């Protein structure tokens, strides 16, 4: 009999892994891309549509849901799952990324973070205990610890201080009471310094969590350094716990973090690209504003089985984008997420079949060729 937190690695091929994580709202098969629903919605896409394209788990954001509509209201409505009509697993970020992204409007001290609300400018105080209390009220399946995300070019002393604070905050997060059957993940920090990453990973493991995230990357550092640190950090994390890279959503990036031994990843990129008229395909990114697509009868990607590609031509989608029709943004968002989810499913199959290296080489070659 399975229970939330059970994690079984079914196959490995090199460092890449195919596994299953059990949660209170069902099993998640990895490697898996997690669409982002910051405010309790994946922008422009119905939960039924998310199911249809193979979504297994979604993200919500503690900071934003705390401010609008508030965790008390969400709890009154039956929790985040019922509130947004999504019956699958949900992971909630702690608000730690806002420590980085809202650097101009916040102050950090040992006890927590003080923000200026992005909605009305009011002061908002978020301590580790607050982040976990909010996530417990939301009722997510996986709650992330509050961490400090330093800038990628921060001095060594600042990086070391962020690691120390992240560890102390993780201890305080672990000491709180979670929602029933809620899992908790610690977040490894340390920039691109391998020594600090090792220190952070070991300190978090000494506290003990249901899973471990690799945070503080994909925030402006050199991409080759990001992949190198991802691989070395993943190798420090327990084999019997899920590994989560926070914030990557391009096909090459996803493939390379899978190859480094990462199981889970998320990003707003596929829906953001959809809203700006771009499509993710197996041979690169398409700008659907391009007049060259005006009479193109082909689907966005001829190998894609999503409803967008099965029903609509590039010409039609280009027309929608040019006319700023909402349907164009929706169709592109659905396709972009479906493409990444199918990429993860194909990677999982390749790992199980012991042919991941060939799969990776072929996929990267097609992405870099760019023939559309």
The residues annotated with a catalytic role in the active site are: 93, 266
Pairing of strands 32-35, 90-93: unpaired
User: How far is residue 361 from each of residues 208, 265, 279, 285, 310, measured CA to CA in Å?
Assistant: 36, 21, 22, 18, 27
Angstrom distance (rounded) from CA 269 to CA 76: 32
First CA to last CA distance, the chain: 48
Quick check: helix, strand or coil at residue 234?
helix
Quick check: helix, strand or coil at residue 123?
strand
- What are the structure tokens assigned to 306, written together? 């999503």
Closest C-alpha to 279, from 301, 249, 307, 296: 301
DSSP assignment letter at 221: S
Determine the distance from the C-alpha atom of residue 228 to the mean position of all C-alpha atoms in its chain, rounded to a whole number. 19
Angstrom distance (rounded) from CA 102 to CA 104: 5
User: How far is residue 214 from each of residues 44, 244, 322, measured CA to CA in Å?
Assistant: 29, 6, 39
Angle at 187 between CA 184 and CA 191, to 5 degrees: 175
- What are the structure tokens assigned to 255, written together? 């493939």
The number of residues in the chain equals 372
């Amino acid at each position: 009999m399975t229970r939330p937190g059970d994690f079984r690695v079914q196959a490995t091929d090199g460092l890449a892994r195919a596994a299953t994580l059990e949660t209170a709202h069902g099993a998640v098969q990895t490697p898996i891309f997690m669409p982002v629903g910051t405010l309790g919605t994946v922008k422009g896409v119905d939960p039924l549509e998310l199911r249809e394209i193979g979504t297994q788990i979604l993200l919500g954001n503690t900071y934003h849901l705390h401010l609008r509509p508030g965790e008390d209201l969400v709890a009154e409505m039956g929790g985040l799952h019922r509130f947004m009509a999504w019956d699958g697993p949900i992971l909630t970020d702690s608000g730690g990324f806002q420590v980085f992204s809202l650097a101009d409007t916040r102050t950090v001290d040992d006890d927590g973070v003080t923000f200026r609300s992005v909605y009305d400018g009011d002061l908002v105080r978020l301590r580790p205990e607050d982040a976990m209390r909010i996530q417990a009220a939301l009722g997510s399946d996986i709650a992330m610890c509050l961490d400090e995300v330093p800038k990628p070019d921060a001095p060594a002393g600042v990086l070391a201080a962020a690691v120390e604070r992240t560890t102390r905050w993780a201890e305080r997060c672990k000491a709180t009471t979670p929602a029933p059957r809620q899992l908790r993940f610690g977040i490894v920090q340390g920039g691109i310094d391998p020594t600090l990453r090792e220190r952070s990973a070991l300190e978090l493991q000494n506290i003990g969590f249901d899973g471990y995230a690799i945070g503080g990357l994909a925030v402006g550092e050199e991409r080759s350094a990001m992949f190198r640190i991802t691989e070395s950090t993943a190798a420090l994390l327990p084999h019997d716990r899920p590994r989560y890279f926070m914030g990557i959503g391009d096909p090459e990036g996803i493939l390379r973090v899978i190859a480094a031994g990462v199981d889970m990843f998320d990003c707003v990129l596929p829906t953001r690209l959809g809203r700006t008229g771009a499509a993710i395909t197996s041979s690169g990114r398409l700008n659907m504003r391009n007049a060259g697509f005006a009479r193109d009868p082909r689907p966005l990607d001829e190998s894609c089985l999503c409803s967008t590609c099965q029903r609509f031509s590039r010409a039609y989608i280009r027309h929608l984008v040019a006319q700023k029709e909402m349907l164009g943004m929706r169709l592109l968002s659905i396709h972009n997420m479906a493409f990444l989810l199918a990429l993860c499913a194909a990677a999982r199959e390749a790992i199980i079949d012991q042919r991941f290296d060939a799969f990776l080489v072929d996929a990267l070659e097609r992405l870099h060729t760019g023939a559309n």
